[in-house]
């Protein structure tokens, strides 16, 4: 029997691939035989990652909020081979204060990247997949922040909840084309985004760990393998879902 988790011959666009979850995801896709289009603003990081990967890869330097970047990523994928999927992973969470103190400019900045950037990439990739008539996958990286009311990161929470809503709509609209669309909602994963916040707030780290039944922050691969599963044939009847990888945090209430 063929291994249903392999991604041989499949090309996946990964946004936010310069570090953290996106970079590790690119390594794991390549380890399963897939090719990767690496998208981020930091050219030297994705160039170095591209050189390290064992399968074919391409580099697209740009801001996901610029819709021309999505078109360039699709073009780069089709130059490698047949496009198979997209992981909308690029995201920012730069502010930490109550909504009452949040200027609309901060809402705008977070939504431009986390939501509108993801919408532009999903549209560009979905159009290409529909044209190819091959089916495919779109995975949006949400967060448990989109499923709860975590304080002090209101625009981030809203952006992630909206991504889950977009996932469900796309799953319904694209299902007849064989394109499966899901979200992954990680809990707290040790990456630059989180480590900086937790180093500045040791009490917050203690609170987060205390609320997590598994009793720790996750390592990056623990957020990545559920994404690889959703990209693979092992998930061929899963669509419109939010896969929560949070060490039991939401289950604990
Ligand atoms: N870490 C966690 O605990 C956690 C939990 C739940 C959800 N998530 C989600 O998982 C995703 C990855 O998070 P992470 O922890 O790996 O974050 P990270 O270490 O801060 O990495 C973020 C990635 O997004 C890219 N990026 C940011 N803004 C961009 C833009 N405007 N255009 C293109 N690329 C952009 C960054 O690349 P450049 O700066 O080079 O552009 C970087 O590669 C995010 O969507 C985040 O919300 C993370």
pLDDT, tens only, 5-33: 999 999 999 999 999 999 999 999 999 99
The pLDDT value recorded for residue 201 is 87
Question: Mean pLDDT score of the chain, rounded to an integer?
Answer: 97
Domain segments of the chain: what residues?
11-242
What is the Å distance from ligand 1's center to 3 Cα?
30
Q: Which residues line ligand 1 (CB under 6 A)?
A: 15-22, 40-42, 45, 63-65, 89-93, 113, 141, 143, 186, 188-189, 191-194
Question: Distance between CA 200 and CA 194 in Å, rounded?
Answer: 10
156 catalytic? Reply is yes
pLDDT at 161: 98
Confidence of residue 197 (pLDDT cuts 50, 70, 90): confident
pLDDT band (50, 70, 90) for residue 48: very high
Considering only CA atoms, which residue is closest to atom 25 of ligand 1? 16
> What pLDDT does 1 receive?
79
Measured in angstroms, how far is the CA atom of residue 14 from the centroid of ligand 1?
A: 11
Give, for 245, the enclosing helix (H) or strand (E). strand 242-245
Distance CA 110, CA 159 (A): 7
Architecture of domain 11-242: 3-Layer(aba) Sandwich (3.40)
DSSP 116-184: IIHHHHHHHHHHHHHHHTS-EEEEEE--GGGTS--TT-HHHHHHHHHHHHHHHHHHHHHGGGTEEEEEE
CA distance 34 to 118: 22
pLDDT band at 253 (very low <50, low <70, confident <90, very high): confident
CB–CB of 63/41 below 8 Å?
yes
Tell me, in angstroms, the distance from the centre of ligand 1 to residue 20's CA. Answer: 7
Distance CA(229)–CA(237), nearest Å, equals 12
What digits encode the pLDDT tens for the residues 209-241? 999 999 999 999 999 999 999 999 999 999 999
Which residue in this structure is represented by tokens 């009452």?
Answer: 100
Q: Specify the pLDDT at position 196.
A: 86
Pocket test for ligand 1, best of 20, 145, 186 (most atoms within 8 A of CB): 20
Whether the pLDDT of residue 87 is over 90: the answer is yes
Please list the residues that pair with 13 across neighbouring strands.
37, 86
The alpha carbon of 8 and the centre of ligand 1 are apart by a number of angstroms equal to 26
State what percent of residues in the chain have pLDDT above 90. Answer: 94
- Residue-wise pLDDT tens digits, 164-175: 999 999 999 999
Q: Using 50, 70 and 90 to split pLDDT, how confident is the model at 97?
A: very high
Average pLDDT over residues 245-251: 98
For residue 67, what pLDDT is reported?
Answer: 85
Catalytic residue of the set 84, 121, 156, 229: 156
**How far apart are alpha carbons 228 and 28 in whole angstroms?**
7
């Amino acid at each position: 029997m063929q291994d249903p988790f392999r991604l041989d011959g499949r090309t996946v666009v990964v946004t936010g691939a310069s570090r953290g979850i996106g970079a590790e995801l690119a390594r794991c896709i390549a380890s399963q035989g897939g090719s990767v289009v690496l998208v981020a603003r930091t050219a030297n990081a994705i160039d170095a990652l591209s050189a390290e990967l064992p399968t074919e890869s391409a580099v697209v330097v740009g801001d996901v909020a610029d819709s021309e970047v999505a078109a360039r990523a699709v073009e780069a994928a089709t130059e490698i081979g047949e496009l198979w999927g997209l992981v909308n992973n690029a995201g920012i969470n730069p502010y930490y204060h109550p909504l009452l103190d949040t200027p609309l400019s901060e809402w705008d900045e977070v939504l431009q990247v986390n939501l509108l950037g993801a919408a532009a990439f999903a549209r560009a990739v979905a159009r290409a997949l529909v044209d190819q008539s091959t089916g495919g996958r779109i995975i949006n990286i949400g967060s448990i922040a989109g499923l709860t009311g975590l304080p002090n990161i209101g625009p981030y929470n809203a952006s992630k909840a909206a991504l889950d809503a977009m996932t469900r709509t796309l799953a319904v609209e694209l299902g007849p084309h064989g394109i499966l669309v899901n979200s992954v909602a990680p809990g707290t994963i040790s990456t630059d985004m989180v480590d900086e916040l937790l180093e500045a707030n040791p009490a917050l780290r203690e609170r987060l760990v205390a609320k997590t039944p598994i009793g720790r922050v996750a390592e990056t691969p623990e957020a990545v393998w559920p994404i690889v599963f959703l990209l693979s044939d092992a998930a061929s009847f899963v669509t419109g879902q939010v896969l929560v990888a949070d060490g039991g945090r939401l289950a604990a209430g």
